Amino acid sequence: MTDFRDETIQLAHGSGGRATRRLIEGLFAPLLSNPALDAMGDAASLEVDRSRLAMTTDCFVVNPLSFPGGCIGSLAIHGTVNDLAVSGAEPVAITAGFVLEAGLASSVLRAQIEAMAGVARAIGVPVVAGDTKVVEHGKADGMYICTTGLGRVHERADLDPARVRPGDRVLVSGPIGDHGITILVARSEIDLETDLASDSRSVLAMTRALLDALGPGVKWMRDATRGGVATVLNELADAAGVGVAIDEPEIPVRDEVRGACELLGLDPLHVANEGQFVAVVSGEDADHALESVRSVPGGEQARLIGEITEAPARTVLGRSGYGSARVIDVLIGDPLPRIC
């Protein structure tokens, strides 16, 4: 039974917000339904000969191909590794498919593959298979990359939204919004100058430290990519049937990102990240969780930003610090600057 009724696919279906959810839950999930898929994690959880494996797949469509802090090649490896990492897994191998546009300069392709190789080597995950297709000029933004990642689940990991309880705490691994704002500026649709760089990076060392320290005290993790922190927290609230209350003054956001968001009428909570994750940890382990992430290079700016509440269920609230609160909703479509 599918209940996806939209007549055509629109850009909003790919933006990670409500329309994406409708497409996935209304079409893909019911038609392809099976226990591993139905769990709807960042990676599927599989058991093969008593080994717990995680498997994920991802497509990368980025314009421009290179931007401050990263490129489509590095993003493809980081994104795949991060999906495995927040599923509590250590990456074992990655495969990559390439859709190339006729006319793409070989030097550009070479630079992207070199970036992939460099990042994969640094993380210690091999790219073990690949495929290449070439499409006519004008049919792709230079190149698209599709990856699959296979990982082995950490032996102490027990990540499940059903284990999330009121009183648990919400941790974010560092300042949010860098990637989305960097891309917005790099597309040069908007005439802003910043020193910002994408946060594209692997979060593996941080999730590993967290799982080593807390084991089952870590209950849920997500990397906050498309749709930003607001979207993953709403997914959590829905999946766990709980409320999430965020203390807005605690959310780490760089001044450059805040400034750009103020100017453009965007909410940093809706802006994409490529190197930050959100975790729910049990209340009593929260300080230990924070220490363990902060002890990893790159995790120094991690913060506890809120807590799980009983009510209002299935809702994310932002508390202002002066006695008011707002509902933090998922994004509808892509974030568009407000001018007038």
Q: Is 215 exposed, middle or buried (0-12, 13-18, 19+ CB in 10 A)?
A: middle
Nearer to another protein, 207 or 315 (CB): 315
How would DSSP label each residue in 224-259? --TTHHHHHHHHHHHHHT-EEEEEGGGS---HHHHH
Minimum distance, C-beta of residue 76 to another protein, in the bound complex (Å): 26
Minimum distance, C-beta of residue 225 to another protein, in the bound complex (Å): 21
Nearer to another protein, 297 or 323 (CB): 323
Minimum distance, C-beta of residue 249 to another protein, in the bound complex (Å): 8
Minimum distance, C-beta of residue 190 to another protein, in the bound complex (Å): 5
Chain positions 222 to 251 lying near another protein, rule: CB under 8 A, are 249
Binding residue (CB under 8 A) for another protein from 215, 259, 283, 298: 259
Binding residue (CB under 8 A) for another protein from 212, 262, 287, 300: 262
Phi-psi region at 327: left, alpha or beta (left = phi > 0; alpha = psi -120 to 50): beta
The first and second tokens of residue 133, run together, are: 């297709």
H-only helix segments in 265-321: 286-294
Minimum distance, C-beta of residue 160 to another protein, in the bound complex (Å): 26
Q: Give every CB contact of residue 28 below 8 A, 6+ residues apart in sequence.
A: none
Between the alpha carbon of residue 336 and those of residues 20, 177, 265, 267, 324, the distances in Å are 17, 14, 8, 10, 26
Options 119-127, 224-232, 289-297, 326-334: segment touching another protein (CB under 8 A): 326-334
Tell the residue number behind the tokens 């040069």, with chain if given: 188
Minimum distance, C-beta of residue 19 to another protein, in the bound complex (Å): 6
Chain positions 12 to 31 lying near another protein, rule: CB under 8 A, are 12, 18-19
Between the alpha carbon of residue 273 and those of residues 2, 20, 73, 239, the distances in Å are 31, 17, 16, 21
Chain positions 178 to 197 lying near another protein, rule: CB under 8 A, are 189-191
Going by DSSP bridges, is the β-strand pair 127-135/89-101 parallel, antiparallel, or unpaired? parallel
84, 88, 90, 95: CA torsion to nearest 10: -20
329 binds another protein (CB under 8 A): yes
Q: Give the CA radius of gyration of the chain.
A: 19
339 binds another protein (CB under 8 A): yes
Nearer to another protein, 110 or 326 (CB): 326
Binding residue (CB under 8 A) for another protein from 68, 283, 298, 333: 333
Minimum distance, C-beta of residue 330 to another protein, in the bound complex (Å): 10
| Contact between 312 and 166 (Cβ < 8 Å) | no
Binding residue (CB under 8 A) for another protein from 51, 195, 255, 297: 255
Residues that bind another protein (CB under 8 A): 8, 10-12, 18-19, 189-191, 249, 255, 258-259, 262, 264-265, 312, 315, 317, 319-327, 329, 332-333, 336-340
